[in-house]
Chains A and B, each alone.
Chain A
Amino acid sequence: MPNESFLRRCYPNLSTSQWRKTSDETTDYNCIAWVMNDTENLWDPDYFWPTNISKELPVRTETIIELCKLYNYQLCENGDLEAGSIKIAIYADQENYFQHIARQNPNGQWTSKLGDWEDIEHELVGLSGRKGSGMSPVLPYGTVVRFLKKPR
């Protein structure tokens, strides 16, 4: 299990924002599954994937938006906390390829499953940053490029 110092080195913005671990490490599910409240399946073109959503690789942001729309999410302007709504945020790299997805908690903070690592509660900026800006050449997740919401 990566310790907090390790995570800060992978996601440098965690050093300057609030966050906390909320689960143990597991390979059972990933960030998309977590957003969809499914901890039994890994949501991925190579694992569980809705049949009418493109499996083209690399996965584009638009593909994830289509997937979220299947589950009643609609695009919205921002990640501001709204009573009665659940919001999600999509991170993408400079080429608009999907990197990560997070869901807003009722307290306005965001919850994420970090790949095969733990779930954390965090600020959106905490996981953003250019790939390779920390210790890992493949992290963090770029920038938030889209918000979606659905009724809570």
Chain B
Amino acid sequence: MPTALSAYSPEIRPPTVGSIQSHETQLLHKKWFEGIGERYELPITQQEELIGRQFYELAETWREQKGGLSLVYQKSMLPSYQTIIGLGHRVIPFILRELERQPDHWFWALEVLTKQNPVPLADRGNIRKRAHAWIEWGKNNRLI
């Protein structure tokens, strides 16, 4: 399986068509570079940047759609929220930072992704106390 480093291997070069950078050649190079992401894993920092960008876009869509809904399962079943869960465990720090910024219904996603629930039973109904428990959990686990 190709690794992140192999994308920078000297053996792998963009295709060349003669020595003249014709318009067609430039397009070929552009297509080749665009294809890198499909063929190779991105370096970890870029992966996190990509996940962060995806998270904030999806979270914005989710906030627009979930606002008037009465129950949390209705909000959690929205495609944007489910797609955030589908981003996997690397999205957890972004969710925790968002929770730190503003308490919201991120607990379903956090419980699914971490298989944890640090919230005392007595605090389960209070969104601010729940957010606080998760933020502390995130700090204790060096995720934020």
- Interface size on A (CB < 8 Å)? 34
Encoded as 1 (CB less than 8 Å from any A CB) or 0, chain B from 51 to 93 comes to: 0000000000000011111111111001000000000000000
Judging by beta carbons under 8 Å apart, are B68 and A136 in contact? yes
Report Cα–Cα, A43/B124, bound state, in Å: 10
Judging by beta carbons under 8 Å apart, are A42 and B66 in contact? no
A2 at the interface (CB under 8 A from B): yes
Report Cα–Cα, A117/B105, bound state, in Å: 13
Of A44-52, A71-79, A81-89, the one with at least 4 CB within 8 A of chain B: A44-52
Known: A31-B70, A115-B67. A138 touches B108 (CB 8 A): no
Judging by beta carbons under 8 Å apart, are B78 and A138 in contact? yes
Judging by beta carbons under 8 Å apart, are B70 and A47 in contact? no
Judging by beta carbons under 8 Å apart, are A47 and B125 in contact? yes
Known: A45-B73, A99-B70. A136 touches B65 (CB 8 A): yes
Q: Chain B interface (Cβ within 8 Å of chain A)?
A: 65-75, 78, 103-105, 107-108, 124-128, 130
Judging by beta carbons under 8 Å apart, are A117 and B71 in contact? no
Partner of A100, one of B70, B72, B127: B70
Residue of B nearest to A117 (CB): B67
CB-defined A-B contacts under 8 Å, sample of 5:
A28-B128, A40-B126, A44-B71, A59-B73, A100-B70
Residues of B within 8 A of A141 (CB): 70
Judging by beta carbons under 8 Å apart, are A138 and B65 in contact? yes
Judging by beta carbons under 8 Å apart, are A27 and B105 in contact? yes
Report Cα–Cα, A114/B65, bound state, in Å: 13
Residue picked from B65, B72, B73, B127, most chain A C-beta under 10 Å: B127
4 cross-chain pairs, A with B, having the tightest CB-CB distances, nearest first: A48-B125, A41-B125, A115-B68, A46-B72
Judging by beta carbons under 8 Å apart, are A28 and B127 in contact? yes
Residues of A within 8 A of B72 (CB): 42, 44-47
Residues of A within 8 A of B128 (CB): 28
